[in-house]
Structure 1
Amino acid sequence: MEVALVSAVLKIVGTKLAPLAIKEFRSKADVAKDIQELQDLVEEINDWLHTVGDKAIRNGRSSKWLKRLKEAAYDAEDVVHEFHIEAEKQDIKVTGGKNTMVKYLLTKPKSAVSEFKIAHKIKAIKSRFDAIVKGRSDYSTIANSMPVDHPVHHTRKTIGEVPFYTIVDETSVFGRDQEKNQITSELIETNSQQRIKIVSVIGLGGSGKTTLAKLVFNDGNIVNHFEVLLWVHVSREFVVEKLVEKLFEAIAGDMPEHLPLQHVSRTISDKLAGKRFLAVLDDVWTEDRVDWERFMVHLKSGAPGSSILLTTRSRKVAEAVDSSYAYDLPFLSKEDSRKVFQQCFGIAMKALDTEFLQVGIEIVNKCGGVPLAIKVIAGILHGMKGIEEWQSISNSNLLDVQDDEHRVSACLWLSFVHLPDHLKPCFVYCSIFPRGYVINRRHLISQWIAHGFVPTNQARQPEDVGIGYFDSLLKVGFLQDQDPDQDWSTSDEVRCKMHDLIHDLARQILQDEFVSEIETNDQINRCRYLSLTSCTGKLDNKLYGKVRALYVSGRDLTFDKTMDKQCCVRTIILKYITADSLPQFISKFEYMGHLEISNVNCEALPEALSHCWNLQAIHVLKCTRLAVVPETIGKLKKLRTLELNGVWSIKSLPQSIGDCDNLRSLYLEDCGGIKDIPNSLEKESPKPTSVHDFFESSRIIGPWILFRPC
Structure 2
Amino acid sequence: MTGGGDVLSAFLQVLFQNLFTLLSEIYGADEELRNLKDNLSTIQAVLRDAEERPPADEAVKLWLNDLRGLAYKATDVLDEFATEVERRRLIPYARVRNSLSFINPTRGLFWLRMSHKIKPIANELDVIIKRRNLRVGDGMTNREERGDHRESSSLLNPSLPLGRESDKQRIVELLVSSHMESGGNISVVAIHGMCGIGKTTLTQLVYDDEAIKKHFELTLWIHVSYDFNVNKLTKAMIESMDSCAYPLDYLDNLQKHLKEKLAGKRYLLVLDDVWNDDPVEWERLRVPLLYGAKGSKILVTTRIEVVADIISTSSPYYLQGLSDDDCWSLFCRYAFARDQQNFSDLDDIGREIVNKCKGSPLAAIALGHRLSRVADRSKWEAILQGEDWEFSGENSDISRAVRPSYQQLPSYLKPCFAYCSLIPKGYEFEKEFVVQLWMAQHFIQPRGEELIEDIAGSYFDTLVQRSFFQFSHFDYSSGQPRYTMHNLIHNYAQRVAAEDCCILQLGRRPNDPAKTRHLSLIGNQFVRDDSTQSNLSNRKESMFEDIYKCRGLYTLLLAGGYRTYEMRIPNKLAKRLKRLRTLDLSHSSLTMLPKSIGTLKHLRCLQLRNTNITRLPESVGCLYNLQILGLRNCDIVELPWNTRNLRKLRHLDLRLDDDSVLGTEGAKSRVHNLRSMPPEIGLLTELQTLSRFVVATYKSGISELKDLNDLHGELLISNLHLVLDAAEALEANLAGKRYIHRLELRWSYSRGVHDEKVLDSLQPHTNLRELRIVGYGGASFPDWICHSSFSNLVILSLSDCGKCEVLPPLGQMPVLKELYVKGMDSVKRVDCSFCGHDGRKFPSLQKLHFESMHCLQVWCGDDNCLLTSLRELVFKNCTNLRQLTHNLPSLTKLEIEGSPKLVGLRSFPSLQSLEVKASGEWVFSSWSSVASLSSLTLSRLPAISLRSELQPGHASISCLEISHCDQLVSLPDNWLPSSLTYFAIKHCSQLRALPRGLQNLGELEDLEIQNCGQLQYLPDGLKNLTSLVRFEISDCPQLLCLPNDGLPTKLRFLSIDNCPELRRRCKEEVGEDWPKIEHIFSLWIDKQLVVSSVQPRREGQTERPLNEGIKAMNSFRSLIVIVMRSKKVSRMGII
TM-score range (shorter-chain normalised) is 0.5 to 0.7
How much has 1:85 moved relative to structure 2? 1.8
Partner of 1:375: 303
Q: State how far apart, in whole Å, the 2-side matches of 1:699 and 1:340 are.
A: 53
Contact kept in structure 2, 1:530 and 1:547, CA below 8 Å: yes
TM superposition shift of 1:582:
2.9
Report if aligned partners of 1:615, 1:638 keep a CA contact under 8 Å in 2. Answer: yes
d(CA) in 1 for partners of 2:46, 2:123: 19
Map of 1:119 onto structure 2? 115
CA distance in 2, matches of 1:527, 1:675: 45
How is 1:357-396 mapped onto 2 (pairs within 5 angstroms)?
A: 374-375=302-303
Which residue in 2 is equivalent to 1:427? 417
Q: What aligned pairs does 1:690-705 form with structure 2 within 5 A after superposition?
A: 699-700=734-735, 702-703=737-738
Match of 2:522 among 515, 524, 533: 533
Report the Cα distance in structure 2 between the residues aligned to 1:617 and 1:682, rounded to whole angstroms: 19
In structure 2, the partner of 1:129 is 125
- Count residues with an aligned counterpart: 495
Aligned equivalents of 1:23 and 1:631: distance in 2? 33
Report deviation, 1:484: 9.3
The answer for the alignment partner of 2:376 in structure 1 is none
Instruction: Check 1:49–1:600 CA distance in 2 against 1; reply closer, same or farther (3 A cut).
Output: closer
Specify the code of the residue in structure 2 equivalent to 1:351.
Answer: E
1:654 to 660, 677, 688: 677
Partner AA of 2:496 in structure 1: I
CA offset at residue 23 of structure 1?
6.5
Q: For 1:554 and 1:112, how far apart are their aligned partners in 2?
A: 47
Partner of 1:33: 31
Call closer, same or farther: CA 1:679–1:354 in 2, change over 3 Å.
closer
Q: Does the 8 Å contact 2:7/2:414 carry over to 1? A: yes
Contact 1:507-1:514 within 8 A present in 2 as well: yes
Structure 2: distance between partners of 1:473 and 1:423? 8
Structure 1 residues 133, 659: closer, same or farther in 2, change over 3 A?
Answer: same
Distance in 1 separating the partners of 2:686 and 2:479: 17
CA deviation after TM superposition for structure 1 residue 177, in Å: 5.6
Q: Indicate the residue corresponding to 1:20 in structure 2.
A: 20
Cα deviation for residue 353 of structure 1 reads 2.7
- 2:504 aligned partner: 517
Q: Deviations over 1:595-621 (max 9, x none)?
A: 221221122233332121111121212
2:707 and 2:15 mapped to 1: Cα distance?
37
SS in 1 for 2:611: coil
Match of 2:629 in 1: 618
- Sort the Cα spacing of 1:109 and 1:205 in 2 relative to 1 into closer, same or farther, 3 A: farther
Three-state SS of the structure 2 residue aligned to 1:582 is: coil
Counterpart residue type for residue 12 of structure 1: F
Matches within 5 A, 1:214-293: none
Q: How far apart, in 2, do the equivalents of 1:578 and 1:422 lie?
A: 36
The aligned residue for residue 548 of structure 1 is: 554
CA distance in 1, matches of 2:678, 2:8: 40
Deviates more, 1:676-685 or 1:335-344: 335-344
Which stretch of structure 1 is more off in the superposition, 599-608 or 511-520?
Answer: 511-520
Could you report, residue by residue, the CA deviation over 1:353-412 in whole angstroms, capped at 9, with x for unpaired residues? Answer: 38999xxxxxxxxxxx999xx5159979999xxxxxxxxxxxxxxx9xx96963332232
Q: Contact between 1:91 and 1:104, CA under 8 Å: does it hold in 2?
A: no
1:174-219 CA distances to partner (integer Å, 9 max, x unpaired)? 994627999xxxxxxxxxxxxxxxxxxxxx995379xx9xxxxxxx
Q: CA deviation at 1:418?
A: 3.0
Deviations 1:522-560 (A, max 9, x none): 632111111001245131263352111111144255454
- Larger fraction in helix: 1
Q: Distance in 1 between matches of 2:269 and 2:642?
A: 58
Greater strand content: 2
CA distance in 1, matches of 2:647, 2:569: 29
What is the identity, as a one-letter code, of the residue corresponding to 2:521? L
Task: Please list the CA deviations of residues 78-116 of structure 1 after superposition, one character each: whole Å capped at 9, or x if unmatched.
Answer: 2222222221221232679xxxxxx97936653598112
SS in 1 for 2:653: strand
Alignment pair present for 1:178 and 2:166: yes
Shift of the alpha carbon at 1:451?
A: 1.7
Aligned to 1:461: 451
Work out which structure has the larger RCO, using CA pairs closer than 8 Å and 6 or more positions apart in sequence.
1
- Once the two structures are TM-superposed, the CA of residue 68 in structure 1 deviates from its matched residue by 1.0
Point out the more displaced range, 441-450 or 673-682: 673-682
Distance change (3 Å), C-alpha of 1:602 and 1:661:
closer
Post-superposition shift, 1:444?
Answer: 2.6
> What's the TM-score, normalizing by structure 2?
0.38
Q: Mark the CA change 1:16 to 1:106 in structure 2 (over 3 Å): closer, same or farther.
A: farther
Structure 1 match to 2:486? 499
1:66 is the counterpart of 2:64: yes
Residue 57 of structure 1 and its aligned partner are, at CA, apart by 5.1
Relative to structure 1, the CA distance from residue 698 to residue 35 in structure 2 (aligned partners, 3 Å threshold; closer, same or farther) is closer
1:112 and 1:447 map into 2 onto residues whose CA distance is 36
Does residue 632 in structure 1 map to residue 645 in structure 2?
no
Aligned to 1:481: 471
Which residue is 2:776 aligned to? none
Structure 1 residue 349 displacement after superposition: 8.0
CA contact (8 A) 1:658 1:680 kept: no
1:376/1:412 contact within 8 Å kept: no
State whether residues 482 and 494 of structure 1, in contact with CA within 8 Å, keep that contact through their aligned partners in structure 2.
yes
Paired letter, 2:39: L
Q: Match of 1:621, SS?
A: coil
**492, 495, 500: which is aligned to 1:508?**
495
Distance in structure 1 (CA, Å) of the matches to 2:707 and 2:118:
47
Task: Indicate if the aligned counterparts of 1:90 and 1:104 stay in contact, CA closer than 8 A.
Answer: no
1:212-270 superposed Cα distances (whole Å, 9 cap, x missing partner): 9xxxxxxxxxxxxxxxxxxxxxxxxxxxxxxxxxxxxxxxxxxxxxxxxxxxxxxxxxx
CA distance in 2, matches of 1:87, 1:9: 24
TM-score by length of 1: 0.58
Indicate if the aligned counterparts of 1:658 and 1:681 stay in contact, CA closer than 8 A.
yes
* Distance (Å, rounded) in 1 between the aligned partners of 2:651 and 2:548: 31
How far apart, in 1, do the equivalents of 2:648 and 2:116 lie? 28
Out of 406, 413, 431, the position equivalent to 1:441 is 431
Change (3 A) 1:520 1:426: closer
Any idea what SS the aligned residue of 1:435 has? Answer: coil
Cα distance change on mapping 1:379 and 1:613 into 2, 3 Å: farther
Q: Is the 8 A contact 1:664 1:703 kept in 2?
A: no
Distance change (3 Å), C-alpha of 1:432 and 1:150:
farther
TM-aligned CA deviation for residue 14 of structure 1: 4.0
C-alpha spacing 1:550/1:439, structure 2 compared with 1 (3 Å)? same
| Cα distance in 1 for residues equivalent to 2:306 and 2:737 | 42
**Corresponding residue for residue 44 of structure 1:** 42
Aligned to 2:616: 605
Q: Which residue of 2 aligns with 1:301?
A: none
**Structure 1 counterpart of 2:127, which letter?**
A
- Higher alpha-carbon deviation: 422-431 or 659-668: 659-668
Q: From the CA coordinates, give the structure whose radius of gyration is larger.
A: 2
Query: How far is 1:41 from its partner?
Result: 1.4
The whole-number CA distance in structure 2 between the counterparts of 1:655 and 1:47 is: 46
Once residues 380 and 104 of structure 1 are traced to their aligned partners in structure 2, the CA distance between those partners, rounded to angstroms, is 59
Matched letter for residue 465 of structure 1: I
- Matched residue SS, 2:549: helix
- Provide closer, same or farther for how the CA distance between residues 11 and 180 of structure 1 changes in structure 2, counting only shifts above 3 A: closer
Q: Secondary structure at the match of 1:645?
A: coil
Change in CA separation of 1:494 and 1:634 when aligned onto 2, cut-off 3 Å: farther
8 Å Cα contact 1:377/1:415 also seen in 2 = no
Q: Please, which of 461, 466, 475 is the counterpart of residue 471 of structure 1?
A: 461
Identify unmatched segments of 5+ residues in structure 1: 97-102, 152-173, 183-203, 213-334, 358-368, 384-398
